[in-house]
Chains A and B, each alone.
Chain A
Amino acid sequence: MSPSHQARSGKEPSPTRPPGEHDVKGHAFHDEESDPSPAPAAPARRITWRKLVVLPVVLVVVLALTYVWITNVHLDSIAKNSLTGGNVQLRWWQHVRLTAISTFWVLIIAIPLGIALTRRRLRRAAPAFTALANIGQATPAIGLLALLVIWLGIGPRTAIIGIVIYAVLPVLSNTVAGLRAIDPNMIEAARGMGMSGRGVLLRVELPLAIPLILAGVRTALVLNVGTATLATFGGGGGLGDLITSGIQTQRMPVLIIGSVLTVVLALLVDWLASLAELALTPRGLEER
């Protein structure tokens, strides 16, 4: 109801009606303005409590069960040697360090390289990298690591180099694919507004590629936790040490502790990365 209509009807809202309502020739009318507009739907919570709670609880239960089992099982001197004196903690932290350092280098190398390969000048080099990535996928991680060990000698440094080489190609091809998938109209529009190549990259392409870069981080982390178990074959330490010594000495407790801790670490890392992915994706890019 517009005010002019109200004026034409010549009647003020009668005191018997609630505010915002008035009558015209005996009929009740609502003022449009006074109708409360529907409250904006509460934004759906991205990180649900279930996502936050389920996996940690499962992991804690698994760890608790393993702990109870290992304290009650009989350990001979060889198994004791592998499991006491802070050895388990040492291997755990070595594994975490291998994963963190190698992931850092993977991202430092793969993401800028991915951006470079989608620029006009280097675009022609991209198919060569895709072919390389395909062959890289076919190379067994253990073979690559063994070759590096023969070439560079044993030690954590060799292991980290191997882990990085193995993870760079998948993250690189993900980044390239994601930057390519950006709607060219958006880039055209940004160009049309007078943005420079740099401006388009920093203010259009990269923000649009954030989900993809985060997915790359997650891929790298999960891959690296796995490849880091092989570091033991190059003298790089990590939880793989417990698994291999458990197999070699045929001590099942050592083998099981190593495997369970590796599984827990892998799932934990994947969970943390998925939370980061949810928390850091710009709201405008969420799927609805």
Chain B
Amino acid sequence: MSFWEYLNTRHQQLLTDAFQHVSAVFQCMVIATVLGVVIGVLSYRSGWGGSLAITSTATILTIPSLAAIGLLIPLVGLGVAPTVITLTLYGLLPIVRNSIVGLRGVDPSLVDAATGIGMSRIARLCRVELPLAWPPILTGIRVSTQMLMGIAAIAAYASGPGLGNEIFRGIASLGSANAINQVLAGTLGIVVLALLFDAAYVLLGRLTIPRGIRA
């Protein structure tokens, strides 16, 4: 069966897998973004807290994802739970790091000016600091998403959802005529989805980065 025939006959299955892949990564990215920005906001003002947050998230990233999944299985079982926890944990790092770096990089005179016109701490954060720190945070989100697309593929080994299942089906049937089609469909599908995500982030950046600081 040629690759195109394979795509034609299995498109239902492939679309389901692709949808689940995107939805798992997207949902975990939303959780990771919220958590990451909150951690960044809470820790960027203290030198100690900031470096603790960066070091601990960097340590998590050093751990191979298969080992992290392996350690979670005895605790939460197979399936969706280890996938979601792993994806969220790994997605955190670039976002935490970039929000701390971004928030610290805001010109202090602008924050002073905001205080000077009577803004409260919350207003300063929401209307001055976070909008200015948004471009690096968005970069962190992009980097995270690219990484999670690959980790989600590995999570399929622990019965997680998504296109990784296609790849593992191919590996399990090595030598059979369909093995290469399955692996190719899974891999290319993930590449295409990752590039689509990236394009969506470029668009999101256009829409959300304040005009005054656009490069």
Contacts and interface: CB of A to CB of B under 8 A. Distances in A.
B164 A150 contact: no
Contacts of A262: 63-64, 66-67, 70
B42 interface: no
A233 B171 contact: yes
Interface string A115-145: 0000000000000000000110111111110
Contact of A243 (B59, B67, B150, B187): B67
Contacts of B64: 225-229, 262-263, 266
Contact of A143 (B71, B78, B167): B167
Contacts of A94: none
Interface stretch (A103-111, A208-216, A250-258, A277-285): A250-258
B191 interface: yes
Contacts of B174: 149-150, 154
B180 A150 contact: yes
B74 interface: yes
Given A146-B170, A149-B171, A230-B66, A139 B191 contact: yes
Interface string A261-275: 011001100100000
A230 B180 contact: no
Contacts of A228: 64
B70 A258 contact: yes
A94 to B, nearest CB: 15
A240 interface: yes
A256 B69 CA distance: 10
B154 interface: yes
B191 A142 contact: no
Contact of B65 (A134, A143, A150, A226): A226
Nearest to A235: B174
Nearest to B193: A138
Contacts of A174: none
A229 B158 CA distance: 14
Contacts, number: 119
Contacts of B186: 140, 143
A246 interface: yes
Give chain B's interface secondary structure class.
Answer: helix
Interface residues of B, number: 37
Contacts of B190: 138-140, 143
Contacts of A141: 150, 154
A150 B179 contact: yes
B194 interface: yes
B71 A259 contact: yes
Given A135-B195, A146-B183, A247 B67 contact: no
A225 B62 CA distance: 9
A164 interface: no
A103 B92 CA distance: 27
Interface string A218-247: 000010011111100100000110011011
Nearest to A240: B66
Contact of B67 (A147, A227, A263): A263
Contacts of B153: 140, 142-143
A249 to B, nearest CB: 13
Nearest to B72: A259
B63 A260 contact: no
Contacts of B78: 247
B157 interface: yes
A139 B150 CA distance: 7
B70 A138 contact: no
A227 B149 CA distance: 15
A247 B167 CA distance: 17
Interface string B189-215: 011001100100000000000000000
A228 B67 CA distance: 11
Contacts of B62: 222, 266-267, 270
Nearest to B166: A143
A229 B63 CA distance: 11
B80 interface: no
A91 B142 CA distance: 35
Nearest to A147: B183
Contact of B191 (A135, A149, A227): A135
A226 B64 CA distance: 4
Given A138-B149, A247-B73, A263-B68, 4 more contacts: A138-B198, A147-B183, A255-B70, A263-B71
16 contacts: A134-B198, A135-B195, A138-B194, A140-B149, A140-B150, A150-B180, A226-B64, A226-B66, A229-B66, A230-B154, A243-B66, A252-B74, A260-B67, A263-B63, A263-B64, A263-B67
